[in-house]
Amino acid sequence: MKQKILITGGAGYIGSHTAVALVEAGFEPVILDNFCTSEKSAIDGLSAIIGFRPIVIEGDCNEPSVLENVFNTYEIKGIIHFAAFKAVGESTQLPLKYYHNNIGSLVLLLQTMQKFNIKNLVFSSSCTVYGEPKVLPATEDTPRQDAESPYGNTKKICEDILFDVTKSNAGNKIISLRYFNPIGAHPSSEIGELPIGVPANLVPFITQTAIGKREKLTVFGDDYDTPDGTCVRDYIHVMDLADAHVRALMYLAKQEDNFYDILNVGTGNGNTVLEVVKTFEKVAGNDLNYQIGPRRPGDVVKTWASTEKITRLLGWKPQYSLEDSLRDAWNWELKLAKR
Ligand code: WQD
């Protein structure tokens, strides 16, 4: 009998790719999603990759009855918690929406886990907690900065909640994964990123510009203290990120109760915005229409991950290059255009 793993937000970008990695590792994903920021078509694509339709429950993690029903129905051995709102800009306009959803759903999940004696949890955190790291690469001991946004603050608060819960001898075994910049899509182009409206993030804006959905990319500032004046980020292929979740789950199973740790998930390399643009042009085989514009308020100038700890503890190493990620992102955009 395959161990069932609950993926909250499992129809989303990272959740759906993690469902693929879970199946490939011999687990059975149970997807809980309210589809408020994801599409049901993601389940079709996921099913095409894994060869069967996974268990999908349409529901909200903030509803006690929804979680109780899942745990009463399925023997859940572990949970990967993706369900959260993640639009940085929107969070500054609607902070209560973000505090209620992102923090409320985690608290309810932890309470329900305790009620059903489910211990193992992998939590989706973000490098945003580091703000502008003073020393690079950022290690897990890099001091967390005041969040630039309510979204970023919810990630910091959730990490504190997880730490306090494991300190309280409740018996949980928890890992927070601090994602750097997830990009790309499954190599099959069956699943990928589905931004809502105008993409806030760089790579989907690039691919939508290249396909003709956007007129041109604006590079937000080229006067920073970086090799070419544009900001530096650690862009990690979503399948490498998915693999990190599976390894984290398997690692937790071997730990004692009341375990908590934090791991960065990035490539360990930083690339500038213009390096991403130039790499994309090479992959797509044509020039991208872009202009240099003003800086975007709140942008971190330079950040990239130290991956020493996740490699040492989980044996995890990124398998995809920036070129691979941009090729998969572009192939996904081309597939979307045919829908
Ligand atoms: C990357 C770089 C922009 C768009 C955000 C969240 C973070 C995480 C990942 C959720 C920056 C530049 C972007 C554009 C541009 N989200 N850019 N033109 O801001 O590093 O991280 O997404 O977990 O929490 O903060 O990612 O892709 O928005 O920006 O020049 O049209 O691309 O200035 O330097 P970011 P991003």
CA nearest 156: which of 138, 143, 172, 144?
A: 144
Q: Is 198 a residue whose pLDDT tops 90?
A: yes
- CA-nearest residue, atom 17 of ligand 1: 202
Angle between helix 202-211 and 322-337 (nearest 10): 50
Q: What is the mean pLDDT of residues 24-52?
A: 98
The full set of domain ranges for the chain reads: 4-184+235-268+306-320, 202-232+269-304+328-333
> What is the value of ipTM here, to two decimals?
0.97
Q: What is the mean pLDDT of residues 55-83?
A: 97
Task: Read off the pLDDT band of 136 (50, 70, 90).
Answer: very high
Measure 224 CA to ligand 1 centroid, in angstroms. Answer: 15
Measure 300 CA to ligand 1 centroid, in angstroms. Answer: 9
Q: What is the mean pLDDT of residues 290-304?
A: 96
Q: What is the mean pLDDT of residues 20-28?
A: 98
Q: What is the mean pLDDT of residues 42-51?
A: 98
Q: Is 39 a residue whose pLDDT tops 90?
A: yes
Question: CATH class for domain 202-232+269-304+328-333?
Answer: alpha beta
Residues belonging to the active site? 151
* Positions of E strands within the chain: 4-8, 28-33, 55-58, 76-81, 120-126, 173-179, 181-183, 217-220, 232-233, 235-237, 259-265, 271-272, 290-293
Give domain 4-184+235-268+306-320's CATH architecture.
3-Layer(aba) Sandwich (3.40)
Q: What is the mean pLDDT of residues 147-155?
A: 93
Q: What is the mean pLDDT of residues 299-303?
A: 97
pTM (2 d.p.): 0.97
179 Cα nearest atom in ligand 1:
23
- CA-nearest residue, atom 18 of ligand 1: 219
Q: What percentage of residues in the chain have a pLDDT greater than 90?
A: 98
Angle between helix 104-115 and 150-167 (nearest 10): 20
Measure 183 CA to ligand 1 centroid, in angstroms. Answer: 11
Spell out which residues line ligand 1, taking CB within 6 angstroms: 86, 88, 126, 128, 179, 181, 200-202, 205, 217-220, 231, 233, 273, 296, 299
pLDDT at 148: 85
276 Cα nearest atom in ligand 1:
32
- CA-nearest residue, atom 32 of ligand 1: 202
Q: What is the mean pLDDT of residues 229-233?
A: 98
